[in-house]
Amino acid sequence: MTATRDLHGTLATDHERRSSKQWSIFRVPEHIREVDEKAYNPRIVSIGPFHRNQPELRAAEPQKLRLYKRLMRQIGNEEHEVGLQTAIKKLEGRARGCYSEEFNYISSEEFVQMMILDGCFIVELMLLYHKSNQHGEHVEEPILATRWMLPNITRDMLMLENQLPLFVLQEIYKQISFGEEEIPLNKLALLFFEPLGPQKGEYTDIKLQDQGTRRHLLSLFHSSFVPSDYRPRRSRGVRWNRRENLPGKFWLQEVRILRRSGIKFRRNPGNLLNIEFENRELRIPTLFIDDCTGPLFRNLLAYEQCNALAAPYFTCYAIFLNSIIDVPEDIEILQDAGIIVQSEAMDEQVVNLVNSLTKELVFDLHDRNDCYIAEQIKDINAFCRSWKSKCIYQLSRIDFVSLGLSFLPSFK
């Protein structure tokens, strides 16, 4: 294996050069950003080069430095601190190659120091949170003791433009743990992000033990929703019809129409993406909606839009929701079934959020294999076209009460 110097004078192996050709951290495209610009801009802390030195984020810089020094005190001596800097310096070329922009104006020394400072801030914050939340230890840390700060920082750490390459974080973690990590970094990160998840539930042991290669924290979080043994079905015998081809609406009828057609809605206790249809039951996992839901989903969608190697699970999920939700009545039906739980938002606001998620999304309509719920959509539409469903729908439109037949069962 040969080694050459890149444009920044950093020693990089041929393998690192080949790896760097695939970007993984992007600036959100302008046409996507315009839908909700605030969703992509960090509120508290800048991580990595995209938002570096922005005036509104400078207040967090002393906090980064404080946590860095706290971590260095635990390392114990200058020799280990120098070793950390040397290790990250070796990764500079590979790390630069992960970003969709070159940042030639950031010198080699500045770039390495940014990686170290930001990376140590992330690792130490996650370690402190783990000690406090998982072990129940009392931790003297102002960020954890300030009610509004940690949720906002956590949200910032899951923005596409606010990422460090995961291998940088892994190297820092290895250096400060001297190669004997008490808990894998992937598990540490997922436990840290758990309160922000749209299901507010616990990860399975399989997810927490996952040591797969991820590109950054948002990529890791994204992968935690994809079942370990689940892959899109490759069914060649099925084709989208004209209505099913349209992104956003028309994949399916709206909730209220589906119910009148004889479909029952049930809460699925499984993974957020695990949508099932069987015996007239459409089973959908619970989605908790709060102020963080919009920004979180938008960054997950932006990640899928920018990276062709990221399977479009959330793109399909968002189009599915947008297809079945159109008016507050649809939300009310899903609420009654335990499928949607919202904090303070009005039903109309939830409708607007769901309908806006798919704006400016690009989806390959010619390759149904990219949609992990293609079979479910086909089966639902096939049922709605069936004679049985049409009979149920027509009966649901009859006002039996006005006909004096109130003893008959409701078809709703």
DSSP code at position 204: P
As a whole number of angstroms, the distance between CA 249 and CA 311 comes to 21
As a whole number of angstroms, the distance between CA 289 and CA 283 comes to 18
The three-class DSSP label of residue 205 is helix
Structural domain span for residue 359: 255-396
Same domain, 217 and 265: no
Same domain, 303 and 263: yes
Same domain, 317 and 184: no
Same domain, 181 and 123: yes
CA contacts within 13 A on the Cβ side of 173: 20
Q: Tens of pLDDT along the chain (412 residues)?
A: 344 344 333 444 443 443 446 899 999 999 999 999 999 999 999 999 999 999 999 999 999 999 999 999 988 778 888 999 999 999 999 999 999 999 999 999 999 999 999 999 999 999 999 999 877 778 889 999 998 999 999 999 999 999 999 999 999 999 998 767 789 999 999 999 998 888 776 666 666 767 667 899 999 999 998 865 555 444 444 444 444 444 446 789 999 999 999 999 999 988 899 999 999 999 999 999 999 999 999 999 999 999 988 889 999 999 999 999 999 999 999 999 999 998 877 899 999 999 999 998 887 654 555 788 989 999 999 999 998 888 887 776 665 445 555 554 554 4
Instruction: Report the predicted TM-score, pTM, of the whole model to 2 decimal places.
Output: 0.86
As a whole number of angstroms, the distance between CA 75 and CA 188 comes to 19
As a whole number of angstroms, the distance between CA 29 and CA 266 comes to 37
Closest C-alpha to 200, from 265, 129, 137, 292: 292
Same domain, 202 and 274: no
Count of structural domains within the chain: 2
Asked if residue 268 is part of any domain, the answer here is yes
Asked if residue 403 is part of any domain, the answer here is no
Asked if residue 302 is part of any domain, the answer here is yes
Asked if residue 286 is part of any domain, the answer here is yes
Which among 204, 223, 242 is the end of a domain? 223
The three-class DSSP label of residue 281 is strand
Return the bridge partners of 264, or none. Answer: 281
Q: Which amino acid is present at 403? A: L
Same domain, 279 and 215: no
Residue whose pair of structure tokens reads 């960020």 in the numeric block: 143
Say how many residues make up the chain: 412
Asked if residue 381 is part of any domain, the answer here is yes
Q: Dmax over Cα atoms in the chain, in whole Å?
A: 89
Q: Which amino acid is present at 183? A: I
Same domain, 192 and 264: no
Same domain, 280 and 200: no
As a whole number of angstroms, the distance between CA 22 and CA 89 comes to 20
As a whole number of angstroms, the distance between CA 335 and CA 265 comes to 10
Same domain, 175 and 283: no
Which among 202, 223, 244 is the end of a domain? 223
As a whole number of angstroms, the distance between CA 25 and CA 214 comes to 12
Same domain, 214 and 276: no
Q: Is 255 in contact with 324 (CB distance < 8 Å)?
A: yes
Same domain, 263 and 381: yes
Which among 178, 200, 223 is the end of a domain? 223
Asked if residue 239 is part of any domain, the answer here is no
Asked if residue 411 is part of any domain, the answer here is no
As a whole number of angstroms, the distance between CA 109 and CA 125 comes to 24
Q: Is 363 in contact with 240 (CB distance < 8 Å)?
A: no
Asked if residue 248 is part of any domain, the answer here is no
Same domain, 87 and 212: yes
In Å, how far are 83, 107, 308, 406 from 329, measured between CA atoms? 60, 56, 36, 23
